[in-house]
Amino acid sequence: MRRIVLLLTLLPMIGLAQQSLTVKHMQISDHWTVDPRAFQEDFSVELKNIEAPLPGGDLDREEMRALKRRMNELYPRTTPVISDRGDRSTDTLTVGQSFPADFFLNQAPIGGGTPNDNTLAISDDGKLISSWNSQLWAYDIVADTYLFAYPNMHPSFNQFLNIYNDTAFSLYFPFDPKLLYDPIRERFIMLFMTGRDPSNSATIVCFSTSTDPKDLWHAYRLPGNPLNYDTWSDYPQIAINENSFYLTLNQLYPDSGWVEGFAETLLWQMDLDEAFAGAESVTTKLWTGFTYEGKNIRYLHPVKTHMGPQGDSMYLVANRPFVETNDTFFIVRVEGDTDDPSNAVDVKMTSGGLQYGHPPYAKQSGGNQEFWTNDARVLGAVRMGNEIHITGNTVDFNSGRATIYHGKIADADAPTVVGTIISDPVKELGFPNLDFIGVTSTDRDVVIFANHTGETIHPGNSAIYIDHDGNYGPVQTVAKGETYVDGLPWADERWGDYTGLQRKFNETAEVWVAGYWGFASQRPGIYISQLQSPKHGPTSVEEEGEQAGISIYPNPTMEWVQFQFDLAGSVDGVIEIRDLQGRYVATIGKGMIKSGANQLGFDVSSLAAGTYVVLVKSDEGVHFTEKFIKQ
């Protein structure tokens, strides 16, 4: 049974340059269980305009068009001059599996939404789920098979609302999906929005019970007008640490534009263990009032951590997205789990680096068709130790074309930003995301993934590899489009609002991506690809392990194998088996491993005959590797 949200306490916050921030301690108890195996055929009914509306409708569109015309006047379009960004001049990423999201019955590519809002997550055992406005698609990349089947092969978000007896449910307009994989609990999180008015706005957050999306999900409803000042919620951004799920939302006044109708950005924090368990109520914090020197900070983007969820801190980054040009960034750090009463927060601002600018329209290959590029908000962020990398849309000041910005904050607690504008002589770029693509916790390798278009190339997507030393690879094509896109009754097509990108946590130097591409009769679709850096491959025994004091018996073996190894210090570790090509086979243990001599034994009778590698790793790197032979 559904119940109302119970507000418990309202407490002031501790912070720097931050006087207005408060937190509400809450219990979210509006919840239900979703069983995809019982999904009925709902025909994915939607009654809506061809284009998902901008928050402020025509007012937003005209304001943004005026700003883009102004940028065209300030920075006229020319052939771009490519700056020297490092010494990598050839393709540096390997594109592995690559395919469009397609129909179960005939394998024809599925048409996306307007905008697509591509998102993706992949589990350690190869279950991949992708989403867009407004469906879910799932595939097992190991078994090479679809995960949803007849009668509902590509379920709509409406199915997850569990209200089949309500004949009006298809008018709730679910939108803005987000997906995330938790490698600690080996579960998925799915989110989407409903309603665009204070009376019906809500965020639906679903927590899976396994890596199989056909199994049960626990769904919770967050109110879209939680502070009761007549706003609705839009544009979700998500991340997790070890104990909490974080969600930022923009609160907007109805019938107003993005600029003047913006109220504030909120931060929701939910207890992960309670949510994944399907608890009757989930302990939650609602952080409100993020400002700097009295001005609201908008579009706060939670920052993921490179080796997986870490600690009880969460960093968030933002900039000034609606100005012509700027160099300001905000770095926010909140501390503590959902039960922590201290509510510690720190807000810092940095400026003085390379400027970013409002992005112009991006040209297409089809006549006068263009792509809408939104604004210069932060679209992707990853933290490696205390170093944060960020990316977003910008104008190329040299050529007047749409492209992307990459910034590096070397120390999040004493921030300065070193920025780079990435451009290409043929492609215009938009809606980037980024993630870690290294091997150990000390690596700083990053991949940026973005949509591309051009006057001579069709809409597809590209990636840029940045190595540990900060050298940039080329803008490397990942998926080529077949045609330009023409789905709206005007020239500017919706291109975003974001792309999907996730590191595969149990693989070295590998990510999976989901982006935009044009196909068939000028339609937008979803293209999914596997990317690997030059560091991808089996973990090297010689290079990575703390190899002193190793013994193994028996080797070869048929049933049982036992290892002894030494660790210099205690670690919160993961024990994995891989094949000689570095491919993941199994996780056989997780937990605290003490310093000094350790003995590890396990049954290998279920493994096929061959040579394998066992490794012990943590956020600090790989501590032990050794080969063994299964007869």
- CATH assignment of the domain containing 587: 2.60.40.1930
User: What is the predicted pLDDT for the residue at 542?
Assistant: 35
User: What is the predicted pLDDT for the residue at 570?
Assistant: 85
Residue 14 placed within a domain: no
Strand order in the sheet with 282-288: 6-12, 22-28, 282-288, 262-271, 244-252, 232-240
* The last residue of a domain, from among 532, 560, 591: 532
User: What is the predicted pLDDT for the residue at 394?
Assistant: 98
Residues 513 and 128: their CA atoms lie apart, in Å, by 11
**Same domain as 589, residue 502:** no
Residues 233 and 222: their CA atoms lie apart, in Å, by 10
* The last residue of a domain, from among 497, 532, 567: 532
**Same domain as 592, residue 508:** no
| Residue 609 belongs to domain spanning | 541-630
Q: Are 438 and 445 in contact (CB under 8 A)?
A: yes
Residue 13 placed within a domain: no
Residue 1 placed within a domain: no
Q: Are 188 and 129 in contact (CB under 8 A)?
A: yes
**Same domain as 128, residue 229:** yes
**Same domain as 551, residue 425:** no
Comparing C-alpha atoms, which of 150, 103, 112, 162 is closest to residue 134? 112
User: What is the predicted pLDDT for the residue at 548?
Assistant: 42
Q: How many domains does the chain have?
A: 2
**Same domain as 521, residue 583:** no
Which residues, listed in sequence order, are joined to residue 435 by a DSSP beta bridge? 447
Comparing C-alpha atoms, which of 174, 237, 182 is closest to residue 209? 182
Quickly tell me which residue has 């170093």 as its tokens: 387
Write the CB contacts of 11 (distance below 8 Å, at least 6 apart in sequence). Answer: 22, 23, 25, 341, 343
Both tokens of 80, joined, read 């771009």
User: What is the predicted pLDDT for the residue at 176?
Assistant: 94
**Same domain as 385, residue 277:** yes
* The last residue of a domain, from among 496, 513, 532: 532
**Same domain as 568, residue 448:** no
**Same domain as 284, residue 241:** yes
Write the CB contacts of 314 (distance below 8 Å, at least 6 apart in sequence). Answer: 239, 241, 244, 246, 269, 302, 303, 333, 334
**Same domain as 460, residue 340:** yes
* Euclidean distance between the first and the last CA atom of the chain, given in angstroms as a whole number: 55
Torsion of CA 300, 62, 481, 48, to 10 degrees: 90
Amino acid at position 161, single letter = L
CATH number at residue 252: 2.130.10.10
**Same domain as 560, residue 509:** no
User: What is the predicted pLDDT for the residue at 165?
Assistant: 44
C-alpha distances in angstroms, 123 versus 116, 218, 319? Answer: 22, 18, 32
Q: Are 618 and 544 in contact (CB under 8 A)?
A: no
- According to DSSP, the β-strands at 596-603 and 610-618 are unpaired
Segments of the chain scoring below 50 in pLDDT? 1-19, 43-49, 164-171, 539-548
* Full-model pTM: 0.83
Residue 581 placed within a domain: yes
**Same domain as 359, residue 492:** yes
Strand order in the sheet with 301-302: 301-302, 313-319, 329-335, 345-350
**Same domain as 557, residue 528:** no
